[in-house]
Amino acid sequence: MVVYKYSFVFVFAAVIHLSPSAGLAPVLKLNNGKEIPGFGIGTWLGTNSNELKGDEVQKSVEWAIDAGYRHIDTAAIYSTEDQVGRAIKKKIAEGVVKREDLFVTTKLWNTNHKKEAVLPALRKSLKNLDLDYVNLYLIHWPIALHENASISQTDYVETWQAMTDVLNQGLTKSIGVSNFNIQQLERLKSEGGVTPSVLQVEINLNLQQSALLDYCKAQGIVVVAYTPFGNLFNRQPSAPAPRADDQRLVAIAQKYKKTVPQIVLRYLVELGVIPIPKSLHKDRVEENIQIYDFSLTPDEIQLLKSFDNGYRTLSPLFWAHSPYFPFESKN
């Protein structure tokens, strides 16, 4: 009875934001009982070759925390972990949040898939972030690479077993995978032992992945949606519609006094996934999370669904000869 009452108060507080530390987005429950904020900030600048020297990602994460984001997505390969760490440190020092209010995700890069490489890679990420633990550690891709970037045959099931070891050491609170397909998730379940708590994949209007979402729902795997805007801002000029000036989308946005990107993010939240849009502009960072004061009608949802055509914004075909390439080998 006491437990029941306590959890009721907690859910109530999270929904109406009695405490600023609860953030703006409702939380979702993971299959290990932990919670994940339902909206996050992305930190990939689209480049992974050079060390990033600026502080644009740090600023973006600081604006995000001020705007009520409590979930931050980074990865070793982004070279932004240090900036993310500085933003967190600053916001904790200012008293805006406590460490336990934040959900920080980072990812194991493809060159560290051998079982003995996983723990050192996570320790290096923690050092970059200047944190004692992350909330979520993901295998970035099912594909393994050698240091010289050629394809390695290391099986992701080996990698997954090492992920469960770092979980047991408390260096991450949850583990999951990114860019895995249904067959690969099934293999983890049958051969790896522990079911991932999270799958992070590309989801946007062009790539809605309904079969994968149904599978994850049935398995209790929470889905995080990367590249949530897809080609809305003409990232790939040859990609199919829609763009942000699509008259049908503009009409919906006007009806709710919202913007087209907000309509798209709201739709993703209604699909049950967690969008992690990236922006280096303060006004956009603030705008993107302001989607919890309206909901879409069935007709509007049907229109947004109609843009699904299986088009992938990210399909690294240069890895197509890996035995573990997860996607169609042609776009």
Ligand X SMILES: *[C@@H]1O[C@H](CO)[C@@H](O)[C@H](O)[C@H]1NC(C)=O
Ligand Y SMILES: NC(=O)c1ccc[n+]([C@@H]2O[C@H](COP(=O)([O-])OP(=O)(O)OC[C@H]3O[C@@H](n4cnc5c(N)ncnc54)[C@H](OP(=O)(O)O)[C@@H]3O)[C@@H](O)[C@H]2O)c1
H-state helical runs in the chain: 2-16, 56-66, 81-93, 115-129, 156-168, 182-187, 210-219, 247-255, 260-271, 282-288, 298-305
Task: Decide: 88 and 131 in contact? Cβ < 8 Å.
Answer: yes
Q: Which lies closer to ligand Y via its Cβ, residue 106 or residue 154?
A: 106
Decide: is 180 part of the binding site for ligand Y (CB under 6 A): no
Q: Which does 146 bind (CB under 5 to 8 A by kind): ligand Y, ligand X, none?
A: ligand X
Q: Which does 69 bind (CB under 5 to 8 A by kind): ligand Y, ligand X, none?
A: none
Three-state secondary-structure class, residue 201: strand
Which residue do the tokens 């480049």 mark? 47
Taking each continuous run of H as one helix and of E as one strand, the counts in the chain are 11, 12
Decide: is 178 part of the binding site for ligand Y (CB under 6 A): yes
Does residue 78 carry a catalytic annotation? Answer: yes
Decide: is 276 part of the binding site for ligand Y (CB under 6 A): yes
Q: State the nearest-atom distance from the C-beta of 238 to ligand X, in Å.
A: 31
Q: State the nearest-atom distance from the C-beta of 30 to ligand Y, in Å.
A: 17
The residue among 168, 215, 174, 214 whose CA lies nearest residue 198 is 174
Query: Residue 7, Cα to own-chain centre: how many angstroms?
Result: 26
Number of residues located near ligand Y, criterion CB under 6 A: 24
The one catalytic residue among 78, 137, 267, 324: 78
Stretch that binds ligand Y, among 61-69, 165-173, 223-231, 292-300 (CB under 6 A): 223-231
Decide: is 315 part of the binding site for ligand Y (CB under 6 A): no
The b-or-e profile of 237-269 (16+ CB within 10 A means b, else e) is eebeebebebeebeebbeebebbbbbbbbbbbb
Q: Which lies closer to ligand X via its Cβ, residue 41 or residue 151?
A: 151
* Nearest residue relative to ligand Y (C-beta): 42
Contacting residue, 233, 241, 245, 254, with ligand Y by CB under 6 A:
233
The residue among 174, 158, 68, 72 whose CA lies nearest residue 115 is 158
Contacting residue, 52, 194, 250, 280, with ligand Y by CB under 6 A:
280
Contacting positions for ligand X (CB under 6 A): 146, 148, 150
In DSSP terms, 71 is beta-bridged to 103
Q: State the nearest-atom distance from the C-beta of 2 to ligand Y, in Å.
A: 40
Plot region of 328 (φ>0 → left; ψ -120 to 50 → alpha; else → beta): beta
Q: Which lies closer to ligand X via its Cβ, residue 29 or residue 146?
A: 146
Decide: is 281 part of the binding site for ligand Y (CB under 6 A): yes
Q: How many other CB atoms are found less than 10 A from the CB of residue 145? A: 18
Q: State the nearest-atom distance from the C-beta of 325 to ligand Y, in Å.
A: 14
Decide: is 208 part of the binding site for ligand Y (CB under 6 A): no
Decide: is 111 part of the binding site for ligand Y (CB under 6 A): no
Q: Which does 123 bind (CB under 5 to 8 A by kind): ligand X, ligand Y, none?
A: none
Q: How many other CB atoms are found less than 10 A from the CB of residue 276? A: 24
Q: How many other CB atoms are found less than 10 A from the CB of residue 232? A: 22
Helix, strand, coil % (nearest 5) of the chain?
Answer: 40, 15, 45
Q: Which residues, numbered 60-99, are part of the site for ligand Y (CB under 6 A)?
A: 73
Residue 1, exposed/middle/buried by CB under 10 A (0-12, 13-18, 19+)?
A: exposed
Decide: is 42 part of the binding site for ligand Y (CB under 6 A): yes
Q: Which residues, numbered 255-274, are part of the site for ligand Y (CB under 6 A)?
A: 261
Footprint of ligand Y on this chain (CB under 6 A)?
42-44, 73, 140, 178-179, 200, 226-229, 233, 261, 276-281, 284, 287-288, 314
Active site residues: 78
